Chain A
C-alpha cells in the first residue's frame, strides 16, 4: 500500500497493511531539528513569519525530506494567508486580524476586525486565493501521489473568535447575544466552504478542522451550546467535504467526551488527538471505534519532551495494542511535534509504530 492508501483506509475505519504514521503539525524548530538527521542544507531557526522567501522554501524542503526519509504516510499543509508586518511581534492578515507571532507555536489572533456585534456588517469577507495553498501545492508536487495530503483549516469556532481577537469575547456572546454568534459563524463558514472547495480542486485528500473546543476538564461550551452554535456549521462543512470527495477529521485538545456524539452526528470521519491526560483511548475505541477513525494519543506534554526513547517505544506499543486492532487508527502525537519534543523521541515513535503496527496486530 502507498501511504495515501494506508491513511485513507484507516480514515474509513478499515485495516491497512500497517498503522499509518502522520502528524497534524511540526513547528519550524522541530522540522529543522529532525531535518538535521538527514541534511545539512537547513534554514535558520525562527518562526516562518520572520523567514525570507528563500528560507521558507528551504523549510518546506526540509519538511518534505523528513517525510520521505521517515516514510510518513501523509503530510499536513496549512493555508498561508498573505500577511503584512504590523511590528516585530505582530502581523495583519487578509481578514484584518492582528496575529501575534510565537517561537513556541502557531500565531494567535489578538485583535480582529469585529470588536462588537455592530461591526459585523462592515466586515469585508476574505476569499481564499490559490497562493494561500502554496504549501499544499508544493507538498503535492514534491511528494507525489503516494502521500495523503491533509489540509488543516481552523473550524467555525476558532475562525469566529479570531475575528473578535479573543475567545473569551465569543463565549461571552454565547450567552449575551446568540444571534450575533450565529451571524459570525455564518460568515466564517462561508469562507471555510470556499477553502474546502479550493483544497479539493488542488488535490487535498483530507481536511483537518482545527480549533480546540475543550480544555483538560471539559468542553469550553456546554453540549447544548455546541448543538446550537457549532454543530450546524460542522455538519455543513463535513457534507461539503464529502461531496467534494474528501474525508474530514475534527481536531481538538482537551476532554471532548461531552460532545463526542455531536462529532459523530456532524459527520466527521475521524477524531484527533485523544489527549491522554483527559481521554482514555481504549474507551474512545470501545465507544466510538465503529463510527470514528481515531488519530493521535502519543503524549507530547511529558513523554515526547522529557521521556526516553525506550519509554516512547513502550507507550507506542501499548497504544497500538489498544487502538489499532481492526483498523481505524492513525498514530501521531497528542497534538504536534512542537519545539519541546526531543527529535530522537519522535524517531523512536516512528520506529516503534513500524515495529508493532503491522496488521494483523500481534502485540501482547
Chain B
C-alpha cells in the first residue's frame, strides 16, 4: 500500500478529521482511484478499529472519532466517486415504538457506514406503520430494528410481521441491550449481532458481500 494510504488509514483510526480530509484530497491528486482509496485505506481503518472494539482494546470514544474522521474523508471522496456504485447495500435503521434511546442505533449506523453501506436512519420511537412505509419507500437490502428496553423489544415481532406482509423475503436484523440470538431466532429475524461492529459484519454476511 502507498504511504499516503497508510497515513490515511492511520488518520481515520486515530480520529483525525482534518488530516483524513486532507489525505483523501492528496491521494486523489496523486491519481489514486477513489475506489482504491475507499477499499484499501478507509474501510480497512474502520474494520480494524471495529475489531479492536470487539476485543475490548478500543472503546466507544475511539469508535466515534474514527467514524467522524471517516465521514470527513468521505465528504472529499464522494464527488470523485461520480456515481460509481460502491455502496455494499442500503440499510434502513430505526428504534422501535416506545423506545426513545438512540446511542445503540447510532453506533450501528456509524459502523455500517464505515463498512461501506448507505444508511437511512428513520430515528427513534418509530411506529410499526412507519417502518413499513420506509421499507416500501426505500426498498432497502436490510431493515435494522433497535431496542434498549425489554418492554419495547416486544415491538420487534410486530414490525417483522408487518414488513414481511409487504415483502416475505425482507432481510431484517435486530439488536440492542436486551436482545439475544435466541430471541432473534424466535421472532424470525434474519440476523442478530451483539455489538455495533458485529452488526456490520453480519450485514455483509447476509448480503454475501464478504464476512
Contact = CB atoms under 8 A, between A and B. Distances in A.
Nearest to A222: B59
A82 to B, nearest CB: 21
B65 A175 contact: yes
Contacts of A100: 100
B103 A167 contact: yes
Contact of B59 (A108, A168, A219): A219
Q: Size range of the interface on A?
A: 20 to 34
B61 interface: yes
Interface stretch (A183-191, A279-287, A300-308): A300-308
B59 A221 contact: yes
B19 interface: no
A175 B61 contact: yes
A168 B149 contact: no
Interface string A180-216: 0000000000000000000000000000000000011
B169 interface: no
Nearest to B177: A216
A339 B151 contact: yes
Contact of A105 (B64, B68, B102, B149): B149
B154 interface: yes
Contact of A108 (B61, B98, B100, B106): B100
B56 A217 contact: yes
B12 to A, nearest CB: 13
Q: Size range of the interface on B?
A: 20 to 34
Interface in A109-130: 110
A137 interface: no
B128 interface: no
Contacts of A175: 15, 61-62, 64-65
B56 to A, nearest CB: 5
A167 B64 CA distance: 11
Contact of B100 (A102, A219, A254): A102
Contacts of A338: 149-151
Contacts of A222: 59, 61
A340 interface: yes
Given A222-B59, A302-B150, A216 B194 contact: yes
A216 B150 CA distance: 14
Contacts of A340: 149-151, 154
A23 interface: no
Contact of A174 (B61, B194, B195): B61
A104 B98 contact: yes
Interface string B117-150: 0000000010000000000000000000000011
Contacts of B15: 175-176
B101 interface: yes
A258 interface: yes
A176 B102 CA distance: 21
Given A104-B151, A108-B101, A221 B177 contact: no
Interface string B62-74: 1011001000000
Contacts of B106: 168
Question: Which secondary structure dominates where chain A touches chain B?
Answer: loop
Contact of B152 (A104, A220, A258, A302): A104
A338 B106 CA distance: 24
A37 interface: no
Nearest to B124: A100
A253 B65 contact: no
A359 interface: no
A33 B16 CA distance: 52
B178 interface: yes
A175 B68 CA distance: 12
Nearest to B150: A301
B201 to A, nearest CB: 14
Contacts of B104: 215
Interface string A80-111: 00000000000000000000101111001010
Contacts of B87: none
Nearest to A104: B98
Nearest to B154: A340
Contacts of B101: 108
A225 interface: yes
B99 interface: yes
Given A215-B177, A258-B56, A301-B150, A168 B64 contact: yes
B60 interface: yes
A38 interface: no
7 contacts: A108-B101, A168-B64, A171-B61, A220-B59, A221-B60, A225-B61, A301-B178
Interface of A: 100, 102-105, 108, 110, 166-168, 171-172, 174-176, 215-222, 225, 253-254, 258, 300-302, 305, 338-340
Top 6 closest A-B pairs, CB basis? A340-B151, A174-B61, A301-B150, A171-B61, A222-B59, A175-B65
Given A104-B98, A110-B100, A175-B61, 5 more contacts: A102-B98, A102-B100, A176-B15, A217-B56, A340-B149
